[in-house]
Structure 1
């Protein structure tokens, strides 16, 4: 439901309690009349140093999701946006669809997830052969690759930064990310895709697009774009990549 600061819409945004980047990226985009109410999924043990740790982190997200959604709903939002991405890729295309259906049934609201947003963004951009990077461990990268492959994309390469903790994702500096993108790029790669919502990449993606001459999709830009367009808002925004600026 709209209010004084969200005169056009209020988006509920669900984030892990360790995440400091999603809300920053959304507010920084400066969409007039759109406000955000974040609900936090409590993560008491944020380690993700190997596959087992990552599965444990995912278990914490799943256990805390309903409470975070409950809290967001008290602000009477118009749409739910998932400000965490790994769970939305899990189980491939069918897993994502089931996840979204559960949220729609729970909230009665339209839902935006990272996986669906990236799929829609790549289709809009006309890109099929992609390279992907994440802050994840191999177990999660496998699920990300599975989703994109099932969605009809040719995944040329996928790599994870193997961040040791959930908070450490937000501490990754631009220079290492530039190196990762340089290693993934190639003449047959039509787009670079970044997943992992606590990774600060929106501004750098804008720079890299200009340098590489191809789309570089930051997941926080993709989810904001999807939420806006699906909600009927056609705002064109500068500083967050070609997706939000031109599509």
Structure 2
């Protein structure tokens, strides 16, 4: 028997200490009887001006993974969500996601279900019928490209275009307007693109992606929507939710 509020599911979630988007967006998508419990991957709010600075920020996040997982496991969650998307591709190969899940389960001490961004996006693309060509927008720097190519290429996808929004520090990824995000989407769209994929869990795209699907007439996959949706579905929770893209309302 679960606790009074989490009568269906208690999720443990880790996200960087600089992230101000995962917690509110996940809570906006939380069905009745499901609760979210965050542990923070503690990192400084580094100034990011170069590829090397960006790479260092991800290195620090990677090093902070195990302590954050350990802290959230104290509340005994039923399942776990990795609330950062860059780390999910950082190994640059198909095996990296499995290694991340192994590390998380080692800290947990049992075979806890783990949802990560890449698994979620691949399943979303499959359900939407996307065959190959995608475009990716994120708040990162160009050094993410070979990582993306390695992971998405191994799954059979071609990244036609990127929009690197080049946030000046991890906290500034969320300091954007709706128009900033709309322009970023439009900059990479085209008739050669089957779907737009947004990475960057600190980029508040959940509701903008829902709007964008209507004026682009194609899937727009918000990373927080996809990851939380995938966590629910893989744990047997199939509630449809409206206002958070067709992924959540149809599948």
Whether the TM-score (by the shorter chain) exceeds 0.5 is yes
Deviation per CA, 1:40-87, whole angstroms, max 9, x where unpaired? 011124323211111211121122111110110001001110011111
Alignment of 1:165-180 (within 5 A): 165-180=169-184
Mean Cα deviation higher: 194-203 or 60-69: 60-69
- Say whether the 8 Å CA contact 1:145–1:158 is kept in structure 2: no
TM-score normalized by the length of structure 2: 0.95
- Tell me: CA distance 1:176–1:99, structure 2 relative to 1, closer, same or farther (3 Å): same
**What is the match of residue 47 of structure 2?**
47
Alignment of 1:100-119 (within 5 A): 100-107=101-108, 108=110, 109-119=112-122
**What is the match of residue 130 of structure 1?**
134
CA-CA distance at 1:123 after TM superposition = 1.1
Match among 134, 144, 153 for residue 149 of structure 1: 153
CA-CA distance at 1:189 after TM superposition = 1.1
**What is the match of residue 99 of structure 1?**
100
CA-CA distance at 1:105 after TM superposition = 2.9
**What is the match of residue 88 of structure 1?**
88
Q: In 1, Cα distance between the equivalents of 2:48 and 2:248?
A: 31
Given the alignment of the two structures, is residue 222 of structure 1 paired with residue 223 of structure 2, yes or no?
A: no
5+ residue gaps, structure 2, are: none
Number of aligned positions between the proteins: 247
TM-score normalized by the length of structure 1: 0.96
**What is the match of residue 8 of structure 1?**
8
Match among 189, 195, 202 for residue 199 of structure 2: 195
Give secondary structure in 2 for the equivalent of 1:133.
strand
**What is the match of residue 36 of structure 1?**
36
**What is the match of residue 163 of structure 2?**
159
Match among 145, 163, 187 for residue 183 of structure 1: 187
CA-CA distance at 1:160 after TM superposition = 0.9
**What is the match of residue 66 of structure 2?**
66
**What is the match of residue 77 of structure 2?**
77
Mean Cα deviation higher: 70-79 or 124-133: 124-133
Q: In 2, Cα distance between the equivalents of 1:160 and 1:141?
A: 9
Deviation per CA, 1:79-131, whole angstroms, max 9, x where unpaired? 11001111111122122222122222332211111111111111111112211
- Say whether the 8 Å CA contact 1:209–1:216 is kept in structure 2: yes
